[in-house]
Chains A and B, each alone.
Chain A
Amino acid sequence: MDNNNKSKSSSDSDSNIYWKENIRLIFICLSIWFIVSFGFGILLVDWLNQFRVAGFKLGFWFAQQGSIYTFLILIFFYINRMNKLDNKYKEGGE
């Protein structure tokens, strides 16, 4: 990748790739976001409740605890990846 080439057209296509990778990352994160909250916490809750973790029924645990922990992991994963992307495609400071 020719990051040093500062010509207009190349930085345009660079930021295009940057945007596409960002969208892909968002898509992955939001899929997991959907699965743990709407999936495990609501739609599949009755089925998951047959399993237990300590004193919790699993579906109940996802609805009241697990989904929140997953949200946190997702955001920090996204921040980390985006910072790497930012550095890779950054053109000489903002």
Chain B
Amino acid sequence: MDLQTLTYIFVGFTFALYIGIAIWAKAESTKEFYVAGAHVHPLLNGMATAADWMSAASFISMAGLIAFSGYDASVYLMGWTGGYVLLAMLLAPYLRKYGKFTVPEFIGERFYSRTARIVAVVCLIFISFTYIAGQMRGVGIVFSRFLEVDIITGLIIGMAIVFVYAVLGGMKGITYTQVAQYCVLIFAYTVPAVFISLQLTGNPIPQLGFGSELINSGSTDQATSQSVYLLDKLDKVVMDLGFNAYTESNWSTTNLFFLTLALMAGTAGLPHVIVRFFTVKKVSDARRSAGYALFFIALLYTVAPAIGSMSRLNLIETINGPSSSSSSESEDSKKALETAGTSYESMPNWFKTWENSGLLAWVDHNKDGKVQYAKGKAIADKSPTFAEERGPLGQRIVTNPSKGEIAQGAPFANEVFVDKDIMVLANPEIAGLPAWVIALIAAGGIAAALSTAAGLLLVISSSISHDLLKMTFAPNITEKQELFYGRVAITVAIIIAGYLGANPPGWVAETVAMAFGLAASSLFPVILLGIFSKRVNRAGAISGMLSGLIFTFCYIIYFKGVFIEPFAANIEENWLFGITPQAIGGLGMMINFAVAISVSYFTEEPPKEVQDMVESLRHP
């Protein structure tokens, strides 16, 4: 059976499964709609949280990011898992104990203020929509590459599926679909990794494989028969090509520090993750499901760096040829580099299919008909543009090539543009794995994107129907009406998300990083203080949230210019303490804490009943 048919079968089967679950798990009350009736088993909730959390970014982009930035990408691994330690110990159990439906509800009641609630709703909606746009984009990429339908059709199919189970089942439907989606995505992610790890190192466990010795593939190497560690070889190969060592840091320590902090606190402050802990039966279950969630997430997150290093090595060897530098003699490797490259005609099929999708491009700078990969830019802009007609070898002609200068330290000019996002999807093809494994990846990528999108859609809808309508502007609506408005809100949100996916504003990539910074600098500190301090009051919380939010927002706008032109170039000399806009949420969080605490101490204590409420959260 060919790849296309297999992919249709796999993706079709998972879709049938999701719809089946939706029909089985219809929500009858607001409690079922918002928090799945609050009796989900902690193990299942852990799985659902893992699927909810691991988005298209984790599944599709992260390993690619690691492949191309090596050690520096560790901040994503630590940041996105370390946040769960904060969640399990500082937030989840107490918010479950509080026992209501939404995050703004807690903030509104703890700080006895409608303003605080509305500020929280605004943060939540902004964070969630920027996130969803990224998910819908992921669905589009997978559909267009593997099912060869156009992105819009792919989006409409994806939206229709989410519509069925999210609108019908609410949180209940979403929870059980997410459990199924977790199983699909983790299977799809680890199976190719195991294959590739076996191929390269003979070790079936990828987490150990990328610290193992390579299997010498006989023919490549006669002079040196001693085996080489995978990471050592990778370090050497990338350095020969002019890149920095894979296992060493290229960023400033300050920036690594603040970025990790922003990602950790941002993870703990993301509303769609927090709300998952409202769905379990009791407080101890909330803690337990945070533990399970991290376990299920760690299964993917510890495999990702293995995929990153292995796919980078595979990519380089496929393009430049296996003989490039497996020997330890630098003389030999220099000689090998002179003849590096593979002629375009003999490049494997995946190279051409990804070239067709526009995420990969080749510019023959030295006109030798061979594809060569090294440090440097192959094209002039961020992404390639193509001419209508094909080149003499059948390649797509790039209309914005770079000048083809040899980058500092590189042996020759780089001729290949690779979009980071294709690494996970192309990895099984690069390694020559069977077609069913590749089809599996497609189903997994869609599962990752849909599960996160559904979770985000639900928090948007509940913050509108519950926080804005029921609790603020229309307190007289019945439960039935509230449930109806919830479904309307989720439908509208799906349509907006689909629109954003089809017409991604140029700033999507920037705003996803922004979502973390904003969650870290706005929601996380006030929730934390709301639980651990009785003294922090309304004035403190509102001023803290606003100062953290405004500081972070302005810093990002200043360098990235989301709706307007940036004020200053986004370069190291201009940054405050050398912190990138992506990492500034860490500092914003500290400002939020400082302002909230000091303002609170200069204004009057919160009322007695609020202090009693906080006290009640602290009982076993």
Contact = CB atoms under 8 A, between A and B. Distances in A.
A65 B305 contact: yes
A72 B207 CA distance: 16
Q: Considering the complex of A and B, which 6 residue pairs feature the smallest CB-CB distances, nearest first? A: A55-B229, A63-B74, A55-B211, A64-B305, A56-B211, A75-B291
B230 interface: yes
- Which of A43, A46, A68, A85 has its CB near the most chain B CB atoms (within 10 A)? A68
Given A18-B618, A64-B74, A72-B295, 10 more contacts: A19-B618, A55-B210, A55-B232, A56-B211, A60-B231, A63-B74, A72-B298, A79-B88, A82-B93, A86-B620
A68 B81 contact: yes
Contacts of A78: 88-89, 287
12 contacts: A19-B618, A37-B260, A41-B74, A41-B260, A54-B208, A56-B211, A63-B74, A64-B77, A67-B78, A67-B81, A71-B81, A78-B287
A94 B231 contact: no
B78 A61 contact: no
Interface string B271-307: 0000000000011100110110011001001100100
Interface of B: 66, 71, 74-75, 77-78, 81-82, 84-85, 88-90, 93, 207-208, 210-213, 229-232, 247-249, 253, 256-257, 260-261, 282-284, 287-288, 290-291, 294-295, 298, 301-302, 305, 618-620
A63 B77 contact: yes
Nearest to A60: B247
Given A45-B249, A65-B302, A68-B81, A79 B282 contact: no
A75 B88 contact: yes
Contacts of A42: 75, 253, 256-257, 260
- Which of B74, B93, B261, B301 has its CB near the most chain A CB atoms (within 10 A)? B74
B85 A74 contact: yes
Contacts of A86: 283-284, 620
Interface in A12-32: 15, 18-19, 22, 26, 29-30
- DSSP class of A's interface residues: helix, strand, loop or mixed? helix
Contacts of B89: 26, 29-30, 75, 78
A5 interface: no
A46 B260 CA distance: 17
Nearest to B77: A64
Contacts of B287: 75, 78-79, 82
Contact of B212 (A54, A57, A72, A76): A54
Contacts of A83: 284
B620 A18 contact: yes
Contacts of A6: none
Nearest to B261: A38
B302 A41 contact: no
Contacts of B249: 45-46
Given A38-B260, A82-B284, A75 B290 contact: yes
Contacts of B210: 55
- Which of B88, B229, B257 has its CB near the most chain A CB atoms (within 10 A)? B88
A22 B283 CA distance: 14
- Which of A42, A54, A55, A91 has its CB near the most chain B CB atoms (within 10 A)? A55
Nearest to A64: B305
Given A42-B260, A68-B302, A78-B88, A63 B294 contact: no
Contact of A33 (B66, B75, B82, B620): B82
Contacts of A30: 85, 89
A76 B291 CA distance: 6
A64 B66 CA distance: 10
Given A75-B294, A86-B284, A89-B620, A53 B78 contact: no
A69 interface: yes
Nearest to A27: B89
A70 B256 CA distance: 19
Contact of A37 (B82, B229, B290): B82
B522 to A, nearest CB: 22
A37 B85 CA distance: 12
A71 B294 contact: yes
A19 B97 CA distance: 14
Given A33-B85, A74-B85, A75-B290, A55 B230 contact: yes
A82 B230 CA distance: 42
Contact of B213 (A15, A19, A55, A60): A55
A54 B82 contact: no
Contacts of B66: 64
A89 B618 CA distance: 12
Contact of B211 (A22, A61, A68): A61
B78 A37 contact: yes
B212 A90 contact: no
- Which of B229, B287, B620 has its CB near the most chain A CB atoms (within 10 A)? B620
A17 to B, nearest CB: 11
B84 A71 contact: yes
Contacts of B230: 55
B74 A26 contact: no
A18 B617 CA distance: 12
Contact of B620 (A26, A57, A69, A85): A85
Contact of A26 (B90, B291, B294, B301): B90
Contacts of A90: 620
A49 B375 CA distance: 25
A44 to B, nearest CB: 10
Nearest to B298: A68
A8 B211 CA distance: 58
B618 A15 contact: yes
Contacts of B247: 49, 57, 60
